[in-house]
Structure 1
């Protein structure tokens, strides 16, 4: 066991050239690059799916609600989990590694109620710690400039307004939120969310567990990861009911206890690997993953002509034999609809499908910018600000580019790109590189490593030819 007590995690640095971060011959920065030799069919392989990064980070923060031990199994070995652990340890919590995928947390020595600017800038997860800190200290301080994927406007207004409705007092001074409660602490409230935001729902549920009285959250998110968080809190002694029409009812309790939980498989990771196989005309076995997290995804690929089977080994997906995938029309919606994190890998499928496909993104207003990379590789994608679909859309008549028409099939060719800060867009470029002829070189790969563990090993097990190299993007 390697305990971390009130400390920060240190990432191991490459010893050669990276000590000063420079290529001595050119004066340019040297970094890790992701090299893909494309044009290979990914067929006959299998891949293990890590635990959900979207779930484990929220569960780490929820451990701040109790002074008893929380044991988390199947925690993914990804950078986003490390960021949450760093936040937990910075506040004074203890993190023990029982093995690579098992951690034990204890917050009984948490002593800080202020989160540093550096940690806030790494990820938006910091905002979830406000509720637990208010319960412990009555005050919390967090910087407004929060990090995370650059996928459109992502203000914390929903979070702040929900906490205000629960009795919090909020002031913003020099980009620092001063959040406090009176001697009565947070109290129950009836909150109707303007949009079923996942992280806002998780934040308010966490805060409501120890609030005085009853909290009702309407128009809330019901994603599987949210339900898993609710199950964890219930194990800790929380009183949470989920009613019809996306409504949670939380009756505050005086104290929460420790628990043990297992992180669900990462459905976004599973979809990414499945799309990589299908886009190259191949197949893959997603080992041990259950049907439930992927049932919606499987329906969409089945419409395009792909095949799948589910058994005790996992889920096997395969391209149609002797034929191309068929065109499709997909609208991104809140769960249980087509997930916003699926549209980027699916975009590569559309470029290889026979016919004209349409995608309508209704969750984020600025999440199709990555398509210019695909067009430079040979895709034929046109973007529109009009709503190309029937789903209710917040962006109608608002001039946001959020719909796409894709003409396929088109051959793709490799290229050199700096990976965007939208992780799923980065994975889209990886899949496009696997499909394309010639090599593709990607920089800024730490963005990909935030949510994908052992990605080189897993893709190569599927039949790819990928590697991590050292260099500069312009020199390879």
Structure 2
């Protein structure tokens, strides 16, 4: 009989009086590792989270011939001086979408790059590489497709600056084009771009390396290409998505938590939403303390997922558990990904009352209007939840949603495929235990 690691959660306990440290941002560190391919000098990255996605990016860096040196668990020194490959294996491409971000650096170094189109990562709807490819083509890249293998190349003139207007403010496309434009000849303008804090941190890193990047109004970046970039030292910002997940775990169980040392800026938007639901918070030198309303339930809410600085798509899954425990009818409208509510079937099997709709339940501009995508939800609360056995979905935040639901539920919840959540959450058992949860990793076979 084959056994595997299972996450065991004995629920029904209030997470109260605990404190939790927040790791560095997994969304930032992977992009900074890729940006290190642009220079032959050393790059030192501090506060790097000990998560699987970082390991995948480091594996990609080493696969291409770069040097990866671990100073300690959270500090890594990178050097791309010995870069020797311009092709990324199918195996690495299938692990994560991060591979597509290496193309620009490979074009600058070798004049060509090979990458497979079947990229891994969260399964949250259609995530084609079309925006990436089109942007590279506008900068002078030639693209050939053989099956699912892309051969991308440039002529003797190399990549050129271009005026690119994105059809949607895609985060990874914005990051890719910024990274690529730093060494392109001439000026690149990227309009309708994403402006997430992690992108600002990437821009700051590139500026330290010698890049010339201006952030203008109306979601526009202007990059004047330079001839070379140098090494630098940087510190990864706290992971705001991780902080939101742990805060929601405390609030959903009627408890409280201190998010240690996290600054106000990354969570200011999140704090508005929980305050509207009746939660309380304090910000001081120790971090951010969030607490459920004393003696009563959270209030219902209407939330629309939008691009930054709006409500993040990575926040709606943990919030869905809050809605199941809130007093009244809550509404959620997802406008970023067309297939990111399928995980709600797990919550309904645990006792939630969630109904899904293809109509837009809100006023935010939505790409999915009249397109028959199920992207809105009505949640009736409060409903008691009961434990269950589930295979962790490949959407990391949906996996965290099930963890939070298990903490709220009566009885025991068992989750398999836990490597999915470990891609972005470090030491999750230890951290939830510090908050007062009864969580452990056991070995066994998930019972249906």
**2:268 counterpart residue number:** 295
Per the TM alignment, residue 80 of structure 1 is displaced from its structure 2 partner at its CA by 0.3
Q: Which runs of 5+ in 1 are unaligned?
A: 1-22, 24-28
Q: Deviations over 1:52-83 (max 9, x none)?
A: 00000000000000000000000000000000
Q: Secondary structure at the match of 2:377?
A: strand
1:235 aligned onto 2:208: yes
Equivalent position of 1:131 in the other structure: 104
Residue 161 of structure 1 corresponds to which residue in structure 2? 134
- Secondary structure at 1:407's aligned position in 2? strand
Instruction: Check if 1:214 corresponds to 2:180.
Output: no
Shift in Å at residue 174 of structure 1?
Answer: 1.9
Structure 1 ranges of 4+ moved more than 4 A: none
Question: Structure 1 residue 389: deviation in Å?
Answer: 0.1
1:154-202 alpha-carbon deviations (Å, 9 max, x no partner): 0000000000000000010021000000001000000000000000000
Secondary structure of 2:210's aligned partner? coil
2:241 maps to what in 1?
Answer: 268
The equivalent residue for 2:69 is 96
In the alignment, which residue of structure 2 is the partner of 1:432? Answer: 405
Query: 1:370 aligned to 318, 326, 343, which one?
Result: 343
In 1, the alpha carbon distance for the partners of 2:80 and 2:381 equals: 53
Matched, 1:47 2:23: no
3-state SS, counterpart of residue 473 of structure 1? coil
**Unmatched tracts of structure 2, length 5 or more:** none
Question: 2:57 aligns to what SS in structure 1?
Answer: helix
Equivalent in the alignment of 1:474:
447
1:60 matched to which residue of 2? 33
Q: Does 2:92 correspond to 1:119?
A: yes
Indicate the residue corresponding to 2:79 in structure 1: 106
Residues 143-292 of structure 1: pairs in structure 2 closer than 5 A? 143-292=116-265
Question: Which of these residues, 108, 112, 115, is aligned with residue 142 of structure 1?
Answer: 115
Kindly state the Cα deviation for residue 293 of structure 1 after the two structures are TM-superposed. Answer: 0.1
The answer as to 2:3 corresponding to 1:30 is yes
**Whole-Å Cα distance in 2 between the matches of residues 257 and 337 of structure 1?**
35
Query: What TM-score, normalized by structure 2, do the two folds share?
Result: 1.00
Q: Deviations for 1:10-50, whole angstroms, at most 9, x for unmatched residues? A: xxxxxxxxxxxxx2xxxxx3110000000000000000000
- How far residue 474 of structure 1 moved from its aligned partner, in angstroms, is 1.9
SS at match of 1:474: coil
Task: Provide the C-alpha distance between the structure 2 equivalents of 1:128 and 1:174, rounded to a whole number of angstroms.
Answer: 20
Residues in 2 aligned to 1:333 and 1:143: alpha-carbon distance in whole angstroms: 30
Match of 1:70 in 2: 43
Q: Distance in 1 between matches of 2:388 and 2:215?
A: 48
1:290-325 C-alpha deviation (Å, 9 max, x unpaired):
000000000000000000000000000000000000
Q: Distance in 1 between matches of 2:345 and 2:78?
A: 43
Q: Secondary structure at the match of 2:294?
A: coil
CA distance in structure 2 between the aligned counterparts of 1:289 and 1:174, rounded to whole angstroms: 46
The match for 1:381 is: 354
Q: State the distance in 2 between where 1:184 and 1:472 align.
A: 57
Q: Which residue number corresponds to residue 464 of structure 1?
A: 437
Cα distance in 2, alignment partners of residues 420 and 411 from structure 1: 22
1:318 aligns with 2:291: yes
Normalising by structure 1, we get a TM-score of 0.94
How many Å separate the matches in 2 of 1:444 and 1:242? 40
Q: CA separation in 2, counterparts of 1:448 and 1:174?
A: 31
Where 1:63 maps in the other structure, the secondary structure is helix
Query: Quick one: distance in 1 between partners of 2:82 and 2:6?
Result: 40
Give the aligned length: 448
The whole-number CA distance in structure 1 between the counterparts of 2:401 and 2:236 is 25
- 1:458 Cα deviation from its structure 2 partner: 0.2
User: Which of residues 364, 382, 405 in structure 2 aligns to 1:409?
Assistant: 382
**Hey, what's the Cα distance between the residues in 2 that align with 1:336 and 1:271?**
15
Q: Using the alignment, how far apart are the partners of 1:183 and 1:242 within structure 2?
A: 30
**CA offsets, 1:121-176, max 9 Å, x none?**
00000000000000000000000100000000000000000000000000100210
